Amino acid sequence: MSYVLIIGAKSDIAKEVARIYAKNGYNIYLAARESDSLEDLKQDIETRSGVDVKLKEFDITAYETHEDFYASLEEKPLGVIVVSGYMPEQKSAQKSWDETLRAINVNYTGAVSILNIVANDFEKERRGFIVGVSSVAGDRGRKANYIYGSSKAAFSAYLSGLRNRLYESGVEVLTVKPGFVATKMTENLDLPENLTAEPCNVAEDIFSAQQKGRNTLYTKPIWFFIMLIIKHIPEFIFKKMSI
Amino acid sequence: MGLLSWGMFPKIITKKFSLRDRAALKSYIEETDEFIPYGNGRSYGDGALNENILHVKPYNNFLAFDEENGLLTCQAGVLLSEILDSVVKRGWFLKVTPGTKLITVGGAIASDVHGKNHHVEGCFSECVEEFSIMLPSGETEICKKGDELFYATCGGMGLTGVILSATISLKKINSKNIRQTTIKTKNLQETFEAFEKYQDMPYSVAWIDCLAKDEELGKCLLMVGDFADDGDLDYRSKKKLSIPFNFPSFALNNLSVKAFNWLYYAKAKDGTSKQKVDIDTFFYPLDAISNWNRIYGKGGFTQYQFILPKEHSYEGLKEILTKISDSGKGSFLAVLKLYGKANENYLSFPLEGYSLALDFKIEDGLFELLEALDEVVVKYGGRIYLTKDVRVSRETFEKGYEKIDKFREFRRENGMDKKLNSLQSKRVQI
């Protein structure tokens, strides 16, 4: 069975995404920095599902390594899922260029770098799927987290263009826009329960949307409606708001 | 942040710490005055509630699976549903499973859960080969049958330490399907006769109409079954329905429950009928609707589950069912089960006899009714199930559990009573 390559495999969402693809029979490449630390997850997935899991050292901001990384995969993956993300604290990102740059590089530049390579390969082979985990925060810039949000907005726009380009070759591109997710990253935030998804549900939704060939997935679906409203508030009102 | 139990009552503000690795857990235990482990929040009552909650579910790796012998080792946060997703297609099933698969392995051990086959296989602890647990001292111990820590921890409501991982033995199956026989009875007498008649079947459970009165008192649908042998192991969890919001509190009343029960019983054929159903339908009918607890409204509900020794079961149940049906308090179908012998664990619920479980919406007058029922339970030498309980008094509880003093002493000796407490453990002082 084919491999699925998961970029940014250390996150809680990635862990569940890997599990669900494995459960459905895919072999898995887990790509992350210090991939040794994923030994337990590899063991977990292999035990659960009896598939093959390979750990791959990968740094999304080390762009110059991406060509070699992709070339070094024993078998080319059938699908690539980019889960990497970095959410700086807004106030500190406003003051620290390093923080801002890191968000841009992880969320956008690095993702584009690896996906350019993947897209060229998939287009040539006329098969494969790409999933990019973006964010509802990219739908409209808000003062509470526009640095993170703008990097995700750029990523969403990239994925949309990629989908348009790859349509003819039959390669499907799915943009995932999670809202709040209960992960390590958000553990200490007081998130509204009804709007907060569990990583395993996000992963289930991603798998099912990808298998159905959908274009965009809001998870939870309520976020589609929330963002629909937020996107349509006129700017002259929006700029005065605190949401 | 508020974490709720499945009964959504009581509501308290909790501080949550997620278990991800042992080193962090050790520091957490050192730094925290008092806490209780919390699994997937499916216990009805307050046994997993405290101001400080250790959220165990993220600690959920599979560690090893010996496919030849059906031995699975996993961390405590793994859900039974995840185990089924992994093992059914390979021809294995849980030896003991409760009526929901959405509980953690740690929770299954701490509640020493039981299933429709208690009269044959006993409690969950029967299939636990060993487990590892972190004690309040920060030390980790491996624990097996025969150890005092084993008897205290299985059924010990998380009050002895933090269960980290467990090795459980599974049951070989050759199908994901169950051959089920449904027997429709007209009253309690017939219900008991049917249980006796089918007691050799590996799985049995009865749904009682607890609003039925007089000559219909105790009428039920008894479902018995065993795994088919058709080689069909293509098991996939079904897509779930969801209750999107808490129902308004008037939605569930005497009339709507009566109507539901009438429909439920009318659907089954009179006498005996046979069906072939899959694992999810047979074992986990309620899991098909996520958040079904919301039908009781945002005030929450509780499940009252008691067990009576076999020799007093008939008269005790008759008395209790009469009280309930006279009170007119709405409960959907109540679950009646026959149990085998009690085990050696200090606080495990089952004993040889019959148990009844009923859901009640939290409302005025309910606790008075339950206290009246407690009296009957105590009178006949029965006990209350801690995993479902949210209100039992210390006195009632103590009368049912003869090993409670051993348990208390064990906790004191090992400093567990200082670190591990729930709202429940404080109420019944264990």
pLDDT, tens digit, 9 for 90 and up, residues B15-69: 999 999 999 999 999 999 999 999 999 999 999 999 999 999 999 999 999 999 9
Q: Which residue has the tokens 């409302």?
A: B363
Pairing, β B162-172 against β B128-134: antiparallel
User: pLDDT tens for residues B173-194?
Assistant: 999 999 999 999 999 999 999 9
For chain B, what is the mean pLDDT?
Answer: 93
Neighbours of A222 (CB within 10 A): 14
A212 reaches B (C-beta below 8 A): no
In chain B, whose CA is at the least distance from the CA of A222? B244
Nearest to A47 among B16, B18, B64 (CB): B64
Q: Which residues contact B94 (CB under 8 A, 6 or more apart)?
A: B80, B83, B84, B127, B168, B170, B171
CB contacts < 8 Å between A and B, how many? 30
Strand B203-208, strand B241-242: pairing: unpaired
Average pLDDT over residues B310-336: 88
SS3 category, A54: strand
Give which of B177, B170, B88, B173 is closest to A49, Cα–Cα: B88
Q: Is the pLDDT of residue B352 over 90?
A: yes
Separation in Å, CA A37 to CA A80, A107, B235, B394: 21, 22, 32, 47
Q: Is B127 in a helix, a strand, or coil?
A: helix
Residue B85 to residue A47, Cβ atoms within 8 A: no
Instruction: Spell out the domains of chain A, with CATH numbers in brackets.
Output: 3-238 (3.40.50.720)
Contacts of A190 in chain B (CB under 8 A): 1
Unique residue bearing structure tokens 């084919």: A2
Residues belonging to chain B with any Cβ–Cβ distance to chain A shorter than 8 Å: 1, 16, 18, 20, 58, 61-65, 82, 85-86, 90
> Is B34 or B331 the better-scoring residue by pLDDT?
B34
Provide, as residue numbers in chain A, all residues whose Cβ is less than 8 Å from the Cβ of B84: none
Residues of B in contact with A41 (CB under 8 A): 61
Residues A156 and A217 sit within 8 Å (Cβ to Cβ):
no
- Are B85 and A23 a contacting pair at CB < 8 A? yes
**Closest CA–CA distance from residue A16 to any residue of chain B (Å):** 11
- Give contacts of B18 with chain A, Cβ < 8 Å: 184, 187
Side-chain-side CA neighbours of residue B142 (13 Å): 4
Closest Cβ–Cβ partner in B16, B61, B82 for A40: B61
Q: Which residues of chain A does B80 touch, with a Cβ-Cβ cutoff of 8 Å?
A: none
Q: Identify which has the larger pLDDT, A236 or B252.
A: A236
CA distances from A77 to A29, A72, B297 (A): 8, 12, 48
Best probe of the A interface among B3, B11, B18, B62, by most A CBs < 10 A, is B62
Residues of chain A with pLDDT under 50: none
Binary contact (A48, B58; C-beta < 8 A): no
Whether A187 sits inside 8 A of B18 (CB atoms) is yes
Has residue B330 got a pLDDT over 70? no
Q: So what's the pLDDT on residue A243?
A: 83
How far is the C-alpha of B292 from the C-alpha of A106, rounded, in Å?
41
**What is the token pair recorded at B134?**
């972190």
Core vs surface per residue A195-217: b (16+ CB within 10 A) or e = ebbbbbbbbbbbbebbeeeeebb
- Closest CA of chain B from A47, distance in Å: 6
Chain B CB contacts of A12 under 8 Å are 58
A235 at interface of B, judged by CB pairs closer than 8 A: no
The answer to whether A36 faces chain B, any CB pair under 8 Å, is no
Q: Chain A residues with CB inside 8 Å of B63's CB?
A: 43-44, 47
> For A71-123, what is each residue's pLDDT tens digit?
999 999 999 999 999 999 999 999 999 999 999 999 999 999 999 999 999 99
Q: Is A64 on the interface with B (CB under 8 A)?
A: no
- Which chain B residues have a beta carbon less than 8 Å from that of A49? 86
Q: Omega before B10 cis (within 30°)?
A: yes
Q: Do B1 and A12 touch (CB under 8 A)?
A: no
Q: Which of B58, B61, B90 sits opposite A43 (nearest CB)?
A: B61
- Give the mean model confidence (pLDDT) for residues B151-171: 98
Token pair belonging to B367: 């606790």
Q: Spell out which residues of chain B touch residue A211, defining contact as CB-CB under 8 Å.
A: none
Query: What is the distance in angstroms between the Cα of A83 and the nearest Cα belonging to chain B?
Result: 19
> In the prediction, which pLDDT does B89 show?
95
B58 vs A contacts (CB less than 8 Å):
12
Instruction: Output phi, psi for B81, to 5 deg.
Output: -60, -35
Mean pLDDT of B367-371: 95
Asked if B62 lies within 8 A of A44 by C-beta distance, the reply is yes
Question: Cβ neighbours of residue A85 under 8 Å, at least 6 residues apart?
Answer: A8, A11, A106, A107, A133, A135, A152
B61/A23 CB distance under 8 A: no
Do residues B87 and B50 touch, judged by C-beta distance below 8 A? no
* CA dist list (Å): A207 to A131, A202, B34, B146, B183: 10, 9, 40, 45, 41
Assess contact for B384 and B9: CB atoms under 8 A. no
DSSP single-letter state for residue A47:
H
**For residues A18 and A6, is the Cβ–Cβ distance under 8 A?**
yes
Q: What Cα–Cα distance (Å) separates residue B110 from each residue in A150, B37, B50, B345, B386?
A: 47, 10, 16, 11, 11
Q: Does A41 touch chain B (CB under 8 A)?
A: yes
Nearest neighbour of A43 by CB, restricted to B18, B63, B90:
B63
Angle at B162 between CA B159 and CA B163, to 5 degrees: 110
- What pLDDT does residue B17 have? 94
Identify any residues that bridge with B72 across adjacent strands, giving them in sequence order.
B65, B168
> d(Cα A36, Cα A3) in Å, to the nearest integer?
19
> Chain B closest CA to A45's CA: distance in Å?
7
Q: Is the Cβ pair A48, B82 closer than 8 Å?
A: yes
Point out the residue among B18, B64, B86 whose CB comes nearest to the CB of A49: B86
| Distance in Å, alpha carbon of B96 to nearest chain A alpha carbon | 20
Mean pLDDT of B158-176: 98
CB pair distance less than 8 Å for A41 and B82: no
How do residues B74-101 score in pLDDT, each as one tens digit? 999 999 999 999 999 999 999 999 999 9
Report the residue of B61, B75, B84, B236 to disrupt the A interface, i.e. the one with the largest count of A CBs within 10 Å.
Answer: B61
The answer to whether residue A12 neighbours chain B at the CB level (below 8 Å) is yes
Give me the residues of A, 73-132, that contact B with CB < 8 A.
none
Residues of A (162-191) whose Cβ lies below 8 Å from B: 184, 187, 190
Taking CB atoms and an 8 Å limit, are A48 and B1 in contact across chains?
no
Tell whether A48 lies on the interface with B, counting CB pairs under 8 A. yes
CA proximity to B323, closest of B331, A1, B303: B331
**Whether residue B1 has pLDDT greater than 60:** no
Q: Alpha-carbon distance B76 to A121, whole Å?
A: 42
Query: Given this model, what pLDDT does residue A186 score?
Result: 83
